[in-house]
Amino acid sequence: MAGAETNAEAIPLQPIIDSATIGETLTLAPGTYLGPVRIDKRLVITGNGEATILNTSPDGQVAVLIRADDVQLENLNIQQNNGGEAAAVRVEADRVKLNGLAIHTAGFGIVLREANGGVITTNKIRWFIPKGEAPGTRGNGIDLYNAHGTEIRENEISYLRDGIYLENSRNTVVDQNKLSYLRYGVHCMYINGSRVTNNTGEYNITGAMVMGVTDVVVSGNSFRKQSQNVHSQGILLYDVRTSSVVNNVVEGNRVGIYMQRSSDNVLQNNLVLRNYIGIQFEDAEGNRFQRNGFVANVIEAQATGSKDNELNGNYWDSFEGLDLTGDGISDLRYAINPFYQQLVSDNAAYQLFFQSPGMTFLSDMYTSGKAQWSADPAPLMQLEVGAVTQGQAGGGQGTVMVAGWLLMFLSVITIIYLGVLRL
């Protein structure tokens, strides 16, 4: 879209739309077309990836406003120079299809309002700063409000505020999207009966924020490397009821899965890998947490004000169980020792000694209040989560062990060096 920064030679697009008949397919020749435009009749508009709609209007208008049902936009480039609440595409009609759009926007990407049955697929949406302009407020990549039954598949969104924002939009499918460098990769509020599946999120503050929902499925997603912010999580569940969180991978985040004020959910077959805190419960009750894999997390689990959660049949790589019957389940229960968690909360510097021999010894000696510790009565002897092999799990643990030894060695050398300086 490099050639779309000026409108000196742009072709006005609105007259072309106005002259088209209902149901016509408009194939735009390669070039730059001037927006903003308004579509009030059923049309198919395609650009074969070589036509660009440019909107430089100074009054905050959207580049493309759709107010007719069954409109289709395909393979167009859209450059939206307006920031703030302005969007590259705003949809206020039903069954609109947006496919293969390449959007650079200074504000929002695609916005749906009171628009049902939409299909949004294979679009690429990125934040954009008009030449010579100061950065404005980033909008959301795809933003739905009261837009039900929408399919959002295989889009790539980066460098905006939230990648996909859904509010009061029931029965929505969010599948196979790639989301990076955002606040929330997927941000869901009041979307009962929806599915968030097979998405990939990296380098966001939070991979998926799911709030105020019932009967939602969060499955097959991979949320990695959400760790740069003190509030970073792979998956954040707040006020979630009777929903399923299954077969996800959360790796390298500050908190893998954070659940607050949520109840009667199933969390199963998730791989919780190399996070600072694997899973954290706060005021969460009556949830079933089973057959998940915990590998190389600093703190495997935390629970505050939470009760009656069923923690059963998970794999904990730090636990050495005993299986006399050969059924793959340890005959010893695994109690989650809060010693390290409490120690670090009092003095964060002790993180340097994570899994050092001395720290492990002290943790084994700590038994205060053991009857109240969270416990898995039937932990698995081997990792069964399909998303990672046992060899990969072992490699991750070895990496953490080496890091712990190295940090301890550097700390000792520093102390000796400073002591010599004082002599």
Element (H, E) at 81: none
* The pLDDT value given to residue 200: 97
* The pLDDT value given to residue 337: 61
Element (H, E) at 16: helix 14-19
Region for 44 from its dihedrals, namely left if φ exceeds 0, alpha if ψ lies in -120 to 50, beta otherwise: beta
- DSSP 8-state class, residue 349: G
Q: Which of 215, 214, 152, 147 is nearest to 185 (CA)?
A: 152
Give Cα separations from 234 to 14, 35, 227, 295 (angstroms).
44, 39, 9, 15
* The pLDDT value given to residue 399: 40
Cβ pair 161, 140 in contact under 8 A: yes
Write b or e for each residue in 274-301: b if 16 or more Cβ atoms lie within 10 A of its Cβ, otherwise e.
Answer: bbbbbbbbeebeebebbbbbbbbbbbbb
Give Cα separations from 224 to 298, 375, 423 (angstroms).
16, 27, 47
* The pLDDT value given to residue 255: 92
Query: Residue 176: which residues within 8 A CB-CB, separation 6 or more?
Result: 153, 154, 197, 198, 199
CA angle 366, 370, 372 (to 5 degrees): 140
Task: Give the burial class of 305: count Cβ atoms within 10 A of its Cβ; 0-12 exposed, 13-18 middle, 19 or more buried.
Answer: exposed
Q: Can you say how many angstroms the Cα of residue 72 is from the centroid of all Cα atoms in its chain?
A: 28
The rounded distance, in Å, linking the Cα atoms of 210 and 340 is 29
* The pLDDT value given to residue 394: 41
418 C-beta neighbours (distance < 10 Å), count:
9
Query: Residue 419: which residues within 8 A CB-CB, separation 6 or more?
Result: none
Q: Which of 175, 180, 217, 178 is nearest to 198 (CA)?
A: 175
Place of tokens 């990496």: 399
1-137+147-159 has which CATH code?
A: 2.160.20.10
* Domain limits, the chain: 1-137+147-159, 161-336+374-388
The rounded distance, in Å, linking the Cα atoms of 404 and 276 is 13
* The pLDDT value given to residue 352: 52
Cβ pair 152, 177 in contact under 8 A: yes
* The pLDDT value given to residue 347: 59
* The pLDDT value given to residue 363: 54
* The pLDDT value given to residue 406: 47
Q: Do domains 1-137+147-159 and 161-336+374-388 have the same CATH topology?
A: yes
First to last CA, the chain: 65
* The pLDDT value given to residue 2: 45
* Domain spanning 161-336+374-388: CATH 2.160.20.10: yes
Below-70 pLDDT ranges, the chain: 1-8, 132, 134-136, 337-373, 385-423
- DSSP 8-state class, residue 416: H
* The pLDDT value given to residue 412: 47
The rounded distance, in Å, linking the Cα atoms of 265 and 372 is 22
Place of tokens 């009061």: 168
The string of pLDDT tens digits covering residues 33-75 is 999 999 999 999 999 999 999 999 877 799 999 999 999 999 9
* The pLDDT value given to residue 385: 52
* The pLDDT value given to residue 401: 40
* The pLDDT value given to residue 24: 96
